[in-house]
């Protein structure tokens, strides 16, 4: 149907990630005519080249390092990671995603459109040579790895997408940037046997977490072999027969085999021709109101492409998709209300947080109590020989409710979910003592958080 107007839809969703797919099925079930547009891999970043494959690789890292902690305490040897075998295992998860995601929509009677989307006007979208009309649009195009154009020869730098597809592991790796992705890829590559360097332009990597917690986290990774270079502003990469050399404008010089940029992600909005539809944007994404509506009355946005204070995570996008499903089918007209959202830096150990920032609580010490707890000798962590387990808990002095937490351990991903539930339900530490958990587990240990 080249150059012509296709059948008009009730809703067209641009982006086939977890949120876009979830919303499409809900709207179709409610009786609406729906189309989904995707120009890359169906299923989105998370299951194809993001959180899911990363977590698959982490399974080997966790097995290796947990075994290391128990050598001489029941185990004789620490296992080695076979990178090509691990990547083949990862591909059993990622390879089927795109085709199965697309086919699932087709089987449900949802129109699928392959190609790049650009707005012609507020009600018309161009997808390749096709034009699509719709009463409403939902933009869910996500983010992509950021680049560092100021670095000479920055094209030599690969991204997290490339890392997660490496058939062989380089001997020496540099990660330029100090956020979640840098720390997680560093943990994976280091455990797999590479020499790993993390380079950050100031002295505050993982700035979303308290400096004290980050310092403790970095100490554990340093003991494992990860090398950190802080206050280094890389300005050039030089290629040679032996590999690459990173330099700054002073004396820093680091030879490696491969360089990856891990300096954040940028929203996929710059090629959508949003100005033609009257959609306004900010540096960190598309601007929306408290109903996820853009500055165009019939266009909404959700997920990582949105400019928002909430973490840009897959479950947050899924939450927004559930909200829009209710809104666009007229089952609700309320503004979106986010719960407290946990975030985790994966590895061994893991660093996790939820709720009120520790720094915010410390500024109002009359209202909030900040408890720093060493958990290393608790049964759970002694049992697995976790070298350093810690938690910082923020408690409202008057209500005794837990309002914030930061925790570091090999079990942090589980503990943070338990405590996030407690925060969202207005619970106190004493309430934990009134629960009966499976014993002995990390949950049953929580009664000692007092």
Q: Where are the alpha helices (DSSP H) in 118-264?
A: 160-163, 180-191, 211-224
The reply, when asked if residue 184 is annotated as ligand binding, is yes
Closest to 59 (Cα-Cα) out of 93, 97, 95: 93
Is there a binding annotation on residue 10?
Answer: no
Look up tokens 């719960």; give the residue. 339
180 marked among binding-site residues: yes
| Secondary structure (3-state) at 235 | coil
Instruction: Report whether 374 belongs to an annotated binding site.
Output: no
Query: CB neighbours (10 Å) of residue 272?
Result: 21
**Cβ-count burial 48-72 (b if 16+ within 10 Å, e if not):** bbbbbbbbbbbebbbebbbebbeee
Question: Shortest CA distance to 297 belongs to which of 136, 442, 108?
Answer: 136
Structure tokens at 153: 């020869």
Please give the Cα distance from 277 to 338 (Å, whole number): 28
- Is 72 marked within a binding site? no
Q: How far is it, in rounded angstroms, from Cα 71 to Cα 63?
A: 12
Query: DSSP letters along 92-112, please?
Result: HHHTTHHHHHHHHHHHTT-EE
Q: Is 50 annotated as a binding residue?
A: no
Answer yes or no: is 439 a known binding residue: no
Residue 175 contacts residue 197 (beta carbons within 8 Å) = yes
Token readout for 293 is 């509506």
Q: Which residue has the tokens 């490496």?
A: 166
Pairwise CA distance, residues 269 & 289, whole Å:
17
* Residue 177 known to bind ligand: yes
150's CB contacts (< 8 A; 6+ apart) are 235
Sort residue 223 into left (φ over 0), alpha (ψ -120 to 50) or beta.
alpha
In the numeric block, which tokens belong to residue 86?
């691990």
Q: What angle do CA 420, 44, 265 make, to 5 degrees?
A: 70
Helix or strand run (H / E) with residue 172? strand 172-176
19/53 Cα distance (integer angstroms): 18
Tell me: is residue 209 an annotated ligand-binding position.
no
- 344: part of which helix (H) or strand (E)? strand 343-345
In the annotated binding site for FAD, the residues are: 55, 304
In the annotated binding site for NAD(+), the residues are: 177-184, 264
In the annotated binding site, the residues are: 55, 177-184, 264, 304
């Amino acid at each position: 149907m080249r150059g012509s107007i296709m059948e008009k839809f009730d809703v067209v969703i641009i982006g086939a990630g977890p949120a876009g797919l979830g919303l499409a099925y809900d709207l179709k079930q409610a009786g609406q005519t729906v189309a989904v547009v995707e120009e890359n891999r169906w299923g989105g970043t998370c299951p194809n080249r993001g959180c899911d494959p990363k977590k698959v690789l982490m399974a080997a890292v966790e097995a290796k390092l947990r075994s290391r902690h128990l050598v001489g305490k029941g185990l004789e040897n620490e296992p080695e990671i076979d990178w090509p075998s691990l990547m083949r295992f990862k591909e059993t998860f990622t390879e089927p995603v795109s085709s199965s995601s697309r086919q699932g929509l087709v089987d449900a009677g949802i129109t699928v459109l392959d190609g790049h989307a650009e707005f012609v006007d507020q009600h018309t979208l161009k997808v390749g040579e096709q034009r699509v009309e719709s009463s409403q649009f939902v933009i869910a195009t996500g983010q992509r790895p950021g680049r560092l154009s100021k670095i000479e020869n920055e094209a030599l730098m690969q991204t997290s997408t490339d890392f997660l597809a490496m058939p062989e592991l380089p001997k020496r790796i540099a990660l330029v940037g100090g956020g979640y992705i840098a720390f997680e890829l560093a943990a994976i590559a280091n455990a797999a046997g590479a020499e790993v360097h993390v380079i950050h332009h100031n002295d505050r990597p993982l700035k979303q977490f308290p400096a004290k917690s980050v310092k403790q986290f970095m100490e554990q990774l340093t003991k494992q072999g990860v090398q950190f270079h802080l206050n280094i502003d890389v300005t050039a990469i030089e290629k040679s027969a032996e590999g690459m050399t990173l330099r700054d404008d002073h004396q820093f010089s680091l030879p490696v085999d491969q360089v990856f940029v891990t300096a954040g992600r940028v929203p996929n909005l710059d090629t959508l021709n949003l100005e033609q539809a009257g959609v306004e944007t900010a540096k960190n994404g598309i601007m929306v109101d408290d109903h996820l509506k853009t500055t165009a009355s019939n266009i909404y946005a959700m997920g990582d492409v949105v400019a928002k204070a909430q973490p840009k995570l897959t479950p947050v996008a899924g939450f927004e998709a559930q909200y829009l499903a209710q809104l666009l089918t007229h089952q609700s007209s309320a503004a979106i209300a986010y719960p407290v959202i946990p975030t985790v830096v994966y590895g061994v150990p893991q660093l996790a947080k939820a709720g009120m920032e520790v720094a915010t609580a410390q500024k109002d010490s009359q209202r909030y109590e900040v408890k720093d707890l060493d958990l290393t000798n608790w049964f759970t962590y002694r049992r697995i020989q976790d070298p350093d387990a810690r938690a910082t808990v923020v408690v409202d002095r008057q209500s005794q409710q837990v309002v914030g937490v930061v925790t570091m351990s090999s079990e942090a991903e589980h503990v943070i979910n338990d405590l996030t539930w407690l925060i969202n339900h207005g619970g106190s530490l004493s309430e934990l003592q009134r629960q009966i958990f499976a014993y002995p587990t990390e949950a049953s240990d929580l009664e000692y958080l007092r």
